Structure 1
Amino acid sequence: MISLYVAGDLIGAPEREVAAHLAACDGCRRLADEFSESRS
């Protein structure tokens, strides 16, 4: 799900749920940052 979120492929409730989780979870936020860096 995190990779889909970073790619912008989630919409609606799933996008909001992942965003809320990332706001609270340092480990997943770091993972999202890694996905984002690899897409650059």
Structure 2
Amino acid sequence: MANIKELSKIPERLTGGHRLCSGCGASIAVRQVLMGTKDPVVVR
């Protein structure tokens, strides 16, 4: 399991233009899921 320092070094994978609020639960959940995957992910 990664520690907080390792997680902070992971590049942001949720790009701009996603139309989610920065503080809403959906964007936080998507960001966490993307942090846990290594493969490229496309959601449509």
Q: Larger Cα Rg: Structure 1 or Structure 2?
A: 2
TM-score, normalised on structure 2? 0.43
Normalized per residue, the structure richer in helix is 1
TM-score, normalised on structure 1? 0.46
